[in-house]
Amino acid sequence: MKFVKIAFMAFAAVFSLVATILVFVTDFGGWWEGGGSNYYFWVGAPYAPAWAQLFLVLLGLLFLALLGISVFLGILTLLDKQTVIVKILSFIGVGGAIVGFVLTGITVGALAIFASGYEWWLDTSFYSSLVGSIIVGIFYILYAVMGMVMKPSETPAK
């Protein structure tokens, strides 16, 4: 049972890492103004406003924090430290995944407002943050459920 919980946190860490990298490196979306001019919305884009790029930076930092929580929970599970902090951190991970999903929606709204007069689209960073927050949230929920189902008497003897 313990190694299943560690596997959940390992998968959550991997998906958080991939989402972090893709949010910081790839385009979130773009718009076309006609005449062959394409503009892209990403961290550091010269045409996107700073307030809209802030959402992307917050999204990347959120996935980085979820990565840290996943690694920390995996280590605590490996060391058989079933304390209150483990339960709190697993619920913080679920909340962080929900915040990531909502922040992705807010960032789409910022892009839609900024590029409202043009033809616009969503790109890799959007899909990685959307899918990443859903998958990471599922792994945190499974970790929390396994922690509630697994009784202290069922833990392996030392």
| CATH code, 147 | 1.20.140.150
Range of the domain at 28: 2-154
Indicate yes or no: pTM above 0.85: yes
Residue 154 confidence (pLDDT) above 70: no
Total domains in the chain come to 1
- CA 61, CA 154: separation in Å to the nearest integer? 37
Closest CA to 135 of 11, 50, 46: 11
> What integer pLDDT is reported at residue 88 of this predicted model?
92
For 58-100, what is each residue's pLDDT tens digit? 999 999 999 999 999 999 999 988 788 998 999 999 999 999 9
Q: Which amino acid is at 24?
A: F
